[in-house]
Amino acid sequence: MNFELKALSQDAMGRQKTDVLLVFLTTAFKPGKDALSKLIAGVLKSEDLANVAGQVLDIHRPNGLACSRLVLLHTGDGVQADVRKAVAAGVALLKPSKPAHVTLFFTENPTAQTVRVAVTVFADSSYAYTTTKTKAEGRSISRMTLVVGSDMSVKSDFDRAVAAVNGIELAKEWGNRPANHATPRQLAEAARGLAKFSRIKCQVLGPKEVAKLGMGAFEAVAMGSDEPLRFIVLSYNGAAKSSRPTVLVGKGITFDSGGISIKPAPEMDEMKFDMCGAASVLGAFRAVAELQPDINVVGLIPACENLLSGRSVKPGDVVTSMSGQTIEILNTDAEGRLVLCDALTYAERFKPRAVIDIATLTGACVIALGGVRSGVFSTDDELSGALVRAGVSAHDLCWPMPLDDDYAEGLKTNFADVANVAGRPGGAITAAKFLQRFVSKYPWAHLDIAGTAWRSGAAKGATGRPVGLLLDYLMATALSGKKE
């Protein structure tokens, strides 16, 4: 989709050709002398549209306006939640006819926040997955114009939102692809593709290199599959070499069957989404590539399948991680922490200012927080606070979770330094406690996105979260770095 921001008077906008004009009005609406004003005033007077949030009126070939179709959407007092709902409702109304060019106009000059909401909600609601469908979708909404009055001060917010959308859509695309169309090798190719952008480099390691690094935990997960593992290293260099990077680590299990500790059949297809952490790293890089901030970022993706075969790792097997710690694999379905722990050790070599891992790690986190907020676990209050704030500004929420040492009790075993599972209680936290054993060298945060990375049911599909959160977090580090 092509997004553009235009400054036009209300009168000039009414004379612009577009397939659909979406007009968002508030209770504060004061009519001017232009055709659109007259039309809205008449509509309100006749009470064809009540002067409250949620009201919608769809008009074909409106008199005196150049658009083919006009949709009036009432946002009440224009609070964010009502604007979100109205933009989504507007797109839902248009989706069946798929007009090529849609123009958005707010009767009250939109704030920076409204501009971001308009772009991101519009893109989210109009997104459609097509890669493995043969039926041509035909037309699609291909162009969106956001009209503001004379004030172009929201341009940087608009650009940020468009970059976020491009990252989110990349994350959705890779999340949604079936596992046989998103293998570790294909994921690595997608990462390599990002190296076409300025300041981005990509290096891909295979089984031999990973063995040489001593990543025994990662190797143990990959062992049961015929698909070779990949360890993807992305870097974005926007600052001096001496400037410590933020490292993003994304769980890249392209399919999680559970391994020998096999999962039940119902909904197992959804385990193609078990690489959404990896997809969010690709998405964040895509967005950063567009905005070119003065920061350094590293992306690490351990990618493999978790399958069953004669070569699979077995419950009770003990493996040696890259850190040297031995791990008793009591449950082969707790594989995310195994691939992540070696990536977290690898991260040390970048002397990071902070490391954030992103993972569809535990069903327990879905039970704890549902699909509204991701869980954030951190050894650093400042980092945790910054992530929570980025979640608010990007409308991609997360919530702090505890890391008390008492939660690690269940990870003790007689046969290795640590077991990969504890009991069922506090499962999201015990998983984080396992990871914490590998992050002593830098400030660390872990985002459990098991509940937020995709939706189930009729609307099944990747959400592209938490790309928005990550982008806002990274952009904020660029700002605070400048203040120093």
Q: Note the residues at the interface with ligand BES (CB under 6 A).
A: 256, 274, 331, 333-336, 360-364, 366, 421, 427, 450
* Catalytic residue (choose from 95, 192, 244, 263): 263
Q: Cα separation of 174 and 301, whole Å?
A: 13
Q: Does 305 bind Mn ion (CB under 5 A)?
A: no
Provide, rounded to whole angstroms, the least separation between the CB of residue 364 and ligand BES.
6
Binds 123, which of ligand BES, Zn ion, Mn ion, none (CB < 5 to 8 A, cut-off by type)? Answer: none
Q: Tell me the two tokens of residue 139.
A: 């037309």
H helix intervals, 7-79: 10-14, 35-46
Binding of Zn ion by 336 (CB under 5 A):
yes
Interface segment toward Zn ion; rule CB under 5 A; list 113-121, 176-184, 246-254, 312-320: 246-254
Bridge partner list, 358: 250, 447
- Segment near Mn ion (CB under 5 A), from 14-22, 250-258, 354-362, 443-451? 250-258
The 10 Å CB-count burial string (b at 16+, else e) for 429-451 is bbbbbbbbbbbeebbbbbbbbbb
Of all helices (H) and strands (E), which one includes residue 207? Answer: helix 207-213
The reply on whether position 34 binds Mn ion by CB under 5 A is no
CB of 450 vs Zn ion, minimal distance in Å: 8
Q: Which does 154 bind (CB under 5 to 8 A by kind): ligand BES, Mn ion, Zn ion, none?
A: none
Locate 116 and state its tokens: 């971001």
* Binds Mn ion by CB under 5 A, chosen from 34, 124, 305, 333: 333
The values of phi and psi at residue 370, to 5°, are 60, -150
When CB distances to Zn ion are compared, the closest residue is: 256
Q: How far apart are CA 419 and CA 413, in angstroms?
A: 6
455 counts as catalytic: no
Nearer CB in complex with Mn ion: 247/462:
462
Quick check: 398 and 385 in contact, CB under 8 A? no
What, of Zn ion, ligand BES, Mn ion, none, does residue 227 touch, CB below 5 to 8 Å by kind?
none
Give yes or no: 17 in active site: no
Q: Provide the residue type at 141 as one letter.
A: I
256 binds Mn ion (CB under 5 A): yes
Min CB(271)–Mn ion separation in Å: 7
Using the rule CB under 5 A, which residue among 34, 274, 328, 396 binds Zn ion?
274
Listing DSSP states for 286-346 in one string gives: HHHHHH--S-EEEEEEEEEEE--STTS--TTEEEE-TTS-EEEES-TT--HHHHHHHHHHH
Report the interface residues with Zn ion, using CB under 5 A: 253, 256, 274, 336
Q: Give the residue numbers annotated as catalytic, written as ranges.
A: 263, 337
